[in-house]
Structure 1
Amino acid sequence: MSDVIGGIFTSHVPAIGNAIAKGLQDDPYWKPFFAGYRPVQRWLAAQRPDVAVVFYNDHGLNFFLDKMPTFAIGAAATYRNADEGWGLPVAAPFEGAQALSWHLIEALVADDFDMTVCQEMLVDHALVVPFNLCWPGADNRAVKIVPIAINTVQHPLPSPQRCLALGRAVGRALASWGGDERIVVLGTGGLSHQLDGERAGFLNPDYDRFCLDAIGPDPERLTHHSALDIIELAGSQGIEILNWIAARGALGEHVAEITRNYHIPISNTAAATLVLEARDHADRMEQDRRAA
């Protein structure tokens, strides 16, 4: 059976991609941020996942204001990276875990989630930048992907409670998958930031730390705020925490924190990194160690 090993929660601001392209990882401005990914990379090297289920938000590459699904899932064999205007290097395509995508689609629709199914889908910096951080190296493609896009742009927005329920439905579907893949879940975006309007440049470290502290042991606490509350607390783009909430839901009830990093600012954004290991996976690993 498949094994959900844990989740990675990470910022995806496009300036990170430019810093990587320019080799600025050890620049004083960027070094505290990039240093936070070394434990993530070590964890991934030890766990060796085969598939990444990625909760993220599209930035106008597939969907725009005239057509904005609340939840969309990819069912493609490959996902081509296309620059949506930031001048980032275009990366090699990602291979899709197509059979797993269709299993998730069938299970989610049966679980009363009306998913928009995309048999062709482009991916933008919200997916590509986290992969470049977690698996550094030119076009490193260590895993296949299942992308799940959440609307964080066009109102009305999904509620945090609904996003947590979506993640839990994905978790149930992964548990029923008959494959033998090792699966890692990613939630990308945030944390607090606002890029436009009177509050451009707004950050809220107190809310960010609340999210980092609560999402592992008690993700329900993040659902006590409405989507509009979160925009007030974290800025208009800080609503990307919805991706984190959904990803957390897919990990099951009990998790263990492996590493975290928080750094402000990078490109007017509060940047965070968090790894949570699924306790069911950790328990199986311990049982295997003792049996050996």
Structure 2
Amino acid sequence: MAKLIGGLGTSHVPSIGVALDRGLRDTADWKPFFDGYIPAQKWIEAARPDIAVVVFNDHGNSFFLDRVPTLAVGVAESYKPVDEGWGPRAIPDFEGAADFSWHFVDQLVENHFDPMICREIEVDHGLQVPMELFFGKPDRWPVKVVPIFVNTIQYPIPTPQRMWDLGKALRKAVESWPTDERIVIMGTGGLSHQLQGSRAGFINQPADRAWIDEIGSNPEKYRNMTRQDYVETFGSEGAELIMWLVMRGAMDADVETVHKHYFAPASLTGAGMVVLENLKAAA
């Protein structure tokens, strides 16, 4: 069967891609952020995954507010980076893991999920930025991708428990996939930020640091939070962090936090990452 080799959690702040495109990676403002990802990039090089399952939210680019599915999965052969308003970026298209994607959506239906199935769709910074943070800017991406779109834009958004259950279904799909492919799961979004309303500019660094420290060792704390708790603690846009629970729910109960990083502010956002391994896989 296929093997789940790790879980990655990361921010997907759009200005990260802008900084890379403009050659700002080593400037005083950005170098501490990007340097914090170097251990994770080395982990990826050593782990050699074949497939990256990326859990993210579209930001009004491929889905607008008139039609927002709670859950959608791409089953395409390839995905183009969407033009988010400043022209197409100079990054490669993403090759889709189409066969595994179809297997996954079948497993979702078996487990009482009702995903929207996308045979053709473009992907925005929610997927682009995490891929660049972990894989750099190659001429061709070294992995195939499975994009999972979660609505964290138009309320009501899913519950944290539902995201955890989605991770469990994803783990079943990995373990029933009859290949020797090596799979990583990326939960993306956050950390704390709010871009509108009376709390515009809100960042909660203590809560961010606790999340980075505890998502591996104490996920029940975050699975048991309500959606309102997420908004109050992490901000209206920081509620994206529920998508990390898909990754964490797919992992074993006991994991090792291999790498972690936190930086604030990245634009108006707390930002960071974790790399998790199942203990039996790390032994």
TM (normalized to structure 2)?
Answer: 0.96
Q: Name the aligned partner's letter for residue 199 of structure 2.
A: R
- 1:216-235: CA deviations, max 9, x gaps? 12212102221122111111
Instruction: Give the 4+ runs in structure 1 shifted more than 6 A.
Output: none
The answer for the alignment partner of 2:110 in structure 1 is 110
The answer for the alignment partner of 2:254 in structure 1 is 254
Any unmatched runs of 5+ in structure 1? Answer: 284-292
3-state DSSP of counterpart to 2:36 = helix
Q: Name the aligned partner's letter for residue 69 of structure 1.
A: P
Q: Name the aligned partner's letter for residue 7 of structure 1.
A: G
- Residue 213 of structure 1 deviates from its aligned partner by 2.1
2:113 is the alignment partner of 1:123: no
CA RMSD of aligned residues (A): 1.3
Return closer, same or farther for 1:190/1:139 CA change in 2, 3 Å cut-off: farther
3-state DSSP of counterpart to 1:123 = coil
- Residue 139 of structure 1 deviates from its aligned partner by 4.0
Give the whole-Å Cα distance in 1 for the aligned partners of 2:218 and 2:168: 14
- Residue 73 of structure 1 deviates from its aligned partner by 0.6
2:215–2:222 CA contact under 8 A, matched in 1:
yes
Q: Name the aligned partner's letter for residue 173 of structure 1.
A: A
3-state DSSP of counterpart to 2:193 = coil
Deviates more, 1:98-107 or 1:86-95: 86-95
- 1:118-164: CA deviations, max 9, x gaps? 11111100101111111113444010000101110111110011111
2:203 is the alignment partner of 1:208: no
2:81–2:88 CA contact under 8 A, matched in 1:
no
2:10–2:274 CA contact under 8 A, matched in 1:
yes
3-state DSSP of counterpart to 1:156 = coil
- Residue 100 of structure 1 deviates from its aligned partner by 0.3
Alignment of 1:34-183 (within 5 A): 34-85=34-85, 89-183=89-183
3-state DSSP of counterpart to 1:81 = coil
The answer for the alignment partner of 1:230 in structure 2 is 230
Q: Name the aligned partner's letter for residue 169 of structure 2.
A: A
Give the whole-Å Cα distance in 2 for the aligned partners of 1:46 and 1:141: 16
Return closer, same or farther for 1:200/1:88 CA change in 2, 3 Å cut-off: farther
Return closer, same or farther for 1:139/1:201 CA change in 2, 3 Å cut-off: farther
Any unmatched runs of 5+ in structure 2? Answer: none
Give the whole-Å Cα distance in 2 for the aligned partners of 1:72 and 1:215: 24
Give the whole-Å Cα distance in 2 for the aligned partners of 1:106 and 1:76: 15
Give the whole-Å Cα distance in 2 for the aligned partners of 1:85 and 1:250: 34
Give the whole-Å Cα distance in 2 for the aligned partners of 1:158 and 1:44: 30
- Residue 91 of structure 1 deviates from its aligned partner by 2.3
Give the whole-Å Cα distance in 1 for the aligned partners of 2:108 and 2:45: 31
The answer for the alignment partner of 2:3 in structure 1 is 3
The answer for the alignment partner of 2:197 in structure 1 is 197
How many pairs are equivalent?
A: 283
Q: Name the aligned partner's letter for residue 99 of structure 1.
A: D
2:11–2:189 CA contact under 8 A, matched in 1:
yes
Give the whole-Å Cα distance in 2 for the aligned partners of 1:88 and 1:19: 15
1:160–1:242 CA contact under 8 A, matched in 2:
yes
